[in-house]
Structure 1
Amino acid sequence: MRVLYGVQATGNGHISRARAMGKYLQQHGVQVDYLFSGRPTDQLFAMEQFGQFQTRSGLSFVTEQGQINYLKTALQSKPWQLWQDVRALDCRAYDLVLTDFEPVTALAARRQQVRSVAFGHQYAFLHQIPMTHDNWVSRSVFQHYAPARQQIGLHWHHFDQPILPPIVDLEPTCHSAEPKQVLVYLPFEAPEQVLHWLSPLTDFRFKLYGPGLAKAELGHISTSPPCLADFKQDLHRSAFVLCNAGFELVSEALQLKKRILVKPLHRQMEQESNALALTKLQLGSAVSQLNTEQIGRWLVSDAAYQQVQYPNVAQRLSAWIAQGAEATTLDPKSWW
């Protein structure tokens, strides 16, 4: 079976899912070609697993100081380039096109009438799940940004909908969590502001990752640019995770039973809704604004959270794809 796999690369979560899926697709003998869009090639890292992958411009949102800048997003978008990329991509040599919310592969497959399957967190929003700040723009994005013949949503709970559990990329580890260590990943916040919040909290050890940060030791705070191996190691070793309200990192933290605090990206419907779902399910805490006091209260709180254990979705989904990806053989209820 030959598959073209499109991955949205604006954030690291989609790539993390692709890493998990890629390992199992290979085990099942599926030949996979990868296409990533939404980030310049020179900003991608730890991509050796994907071989000779392709990249395209795609579409992405511009964020500043913890919120989306819609004006800059519109000014920097390149719809004509997207259409040119869609027209130029030939999908007809593939048995199946997979897309994790990646528009070039999704739209090219639809245009050429090649069978396609989409999976990812964004497709859960096509169902009745906890949502806030919903509007016609967000609904249009979820419906038309990266469509496919079959669309499979992922979420932390099924909400009585045909939704699968998260795909998490976690290797077996022997690292035990250190009770005072906190993993911090807030790529949409200004790094100097994050350091200002964390500096007074000297009773804890912070592992801070983010774009533009240098690798450094600043007393009780270690900083690092985004990377793979060290980040995963620190995730395992931390008892706490402080992050924006994206889906993949929170999913990995839940699977590892970490205490979680999220600050959603302001005016971003998906992250605002993720924060709502996380608190409604009693899986973690959420705040609309961060400061030293908020973080300090969370670190010493004795609030009780629900714990979850998800199945190996990447393994099962890859087996389903290798067997033909027939809709009739996918029973979401059996995955929970």
Structure 2
Amino acid sequence: MKILYGVQGTGNGHIARARIMAKAFAKRDDIEVDFIFSGRDPSRYFDMEVFGNYRTVSGLTFITENGQVNRWKTLRQANVRQFIKDVKQLNVAKYHVLLNDFEPVTAWAAKMNDLSSISISHQAAFKHKVPKQGETWADRMLMRIFAPCDVNLGVHWYHFGFPIMPPFIEEPYSKATTGDHVLVYLPFENETAIKSLLKNFPNEKFICYHPEIDEPFSNENSQWRPLSKQTFQQALFDCAGVIANGGFELSSECLQLGKKILVKPLKNQYEQSSNRITLERMNRCESMDTLDPQVVSKWLSKDSPEPIRYPDSPDILIDWLMEGDYMDTKVLCKQLWETTHFPESVRLALTHNG
């Protein structure tokens, strides 16, 4: 089987999910996979060895400033002519199926050439009646036309009775320790604003990752580091808690590792606002709308939660792909959720709030 895999490169969460899939594909000798990434300058990708001879295209992306999506700049910078050119030039004739993680060039190329396409993304979950906050008509239209696929296999922390898969998390709870630092990953926030927030807690230790940092340095009670999967993962394993935007993949890892989370959703990004709602329903996060030291102070005193055990391998999904009956998602999702373990407190919260 020859698979084309399109990945949205704007956020590291999409790439993290694709890495797990790539490792699983690499163990098979009956599948060939070509990866295409879009939405990020090619020089800004890192730790990409697992994807082999991957390709990049411009695609479409979102412009963020000071913790919120700048819709005007997002529209203004969109190179529609280049996007159309990339779609037309992408030859998909040799592939049996497209897997798509919210990547528009490959999705539209598949649609124009009648290639079967399957969306495996967190965004696809929002096509169903899952908890949402702040969704507008424009958001609904964006989800419909941005990266359209024939089959939508959403990925979420709970299925809510729909064809939604659990996230695949490689790292087991056994790797987690409780250190004395807080991991801070707020890539959409202004670096100066983050430093100002952390100065309020001189007795705490923070390790901060930010895309604007090129060389590591220390600043009073915090260490600042450039993006790196390996060092970030170790900082995550050893931390006492995580302060982050409302992205899906990092929150998923926190749930699996039993790390307390404080989320500050990206403003004007309803997906992250909706993620907050679901985490709150699960009693698995505290949240803030601004970089609020009072909220941080209260959160720092919280205990770590019980971990949730999600599947560590996508092998069940890959076997389903090989069978070729893409419209039958019920058995696949049922098998995957049977491998998921919720603590009783989370199960009760989901039942009560669902």
CA contact (8 A) 1:133 1:269 kept: yes
Aligned to 2:190: 190
Aligned to 1:18: 18
CA contact (8 A) 1:261 1:287 kept: yes
Q: Which ranges of 4 or more aligned residues in structure 1 deviate by more than 6 Å?
A: none
Q: Please state whether the residue corresponding to 2:85 is helix, strand or coil.
A: helix
* 1:269 is aligned to 2:270: yes
Aligned to 2:133: 132
Q: Which amino acid aligns with 1:50?
A: F
**Correspondences of 1:1-336 after superposition (within 5 Å):** 1-29=1-29, 30-168=31-169, 170-171=170-171, 175-213=175-213, 214-302=215-303, 305=305, 307-324=307-324, 326-328=326-328, 330-331=330-331, 332-336=333-337
TM-score for both structures, normalised by structure 1 = 0.94
> Which range moved further: 275-284 or 304-313?
304-313
Q: Please state whether the residue corresponding to 1:322 is helix, strand or coil.
A: helix
Q: Distance in 2 between matches of 1:87 and 1:335?
A: 36
Q: Which amino acid aligns with 2:326?
A: E
Displacement of 1:175 in angstroms is 4.8
Q: Which amino acid aligns with 1:177?
A: T
Q: Which amino acid aligns with 2:84?
A: W
CA gap 1:90/1:279 in 2 versus in 1, 3 angstroms: same
The number of equivalent residue pairs is 334
Structure 1, unaligned stretches of length 5 or more? none
CA contact (8 A) 2:176 2:257 kept: no
Q: Please state whether the residue corresponding to 2:126 is helix, strand or coil.
A: helix
CA contact (8 A) 2:208 2:225 kept: yes
Displacement of 1:171 in angstroms is 4.2
Q: Distance in 2 between matches of 1:99 and 1:56?
A: 14
Displacement of 1:144 in angstroms is 1.5
CA contact (8 A) 1:184 1:209 kept: yes
Q: Please state whether the residue corresponding to 1:223 is helix, strand or coil.
A: strand
Displacement of 1:180 in angstroms is 2.4
CA gap 1:198/1:212 in 2 versus in 1, 3 angstroms: same
Q: Write out per-residue CA displacement over residues 109-151 of structure 1, whole angstroms, 9 at most, x where no aligned residue.
A: 1100011111110000000111111111111111121111111
CA contact (8 A) 1:243 1:261 kept: yes
Identity %: 39
Q: Write out per-residue CA displacement over residues 177-226 of structure 1, whole angstroms, 9 at most, x where no aligned residue.
A: 23422111000100111111112313322110001123012243111011
Displacement of 1:172 in angstroms is 5.6
Displacement of 1:307 in angstroms is 4.0
Q: Distance in 2 between matches of 1:89 and 1:76?
A: 22
CA gap 1:82/1:173 in 2 versus in 1, 3 angstroms: same
Q: Distance in 1 between matches of 2:42 and 2:204?
A: 36
Q: Please state whether the residue corresponding to 1:328 is helix, strand or coil.
A: coil
Displacement of 1:325 in angstroms is 5.4
Displacement of 1:58 in angstroms is 0.6
Displacement of 1:330 in angstroms is 4.8
CA contact (8 A) 1:265 1:272 kept: yes
Q: Which amino acid aligns with 1:16?
A: A
CA gap 1:295/1:255 in 2 versus in 1, 3 angstroms: same
> Which range moved further: 305-314 or 180-189?
305-314
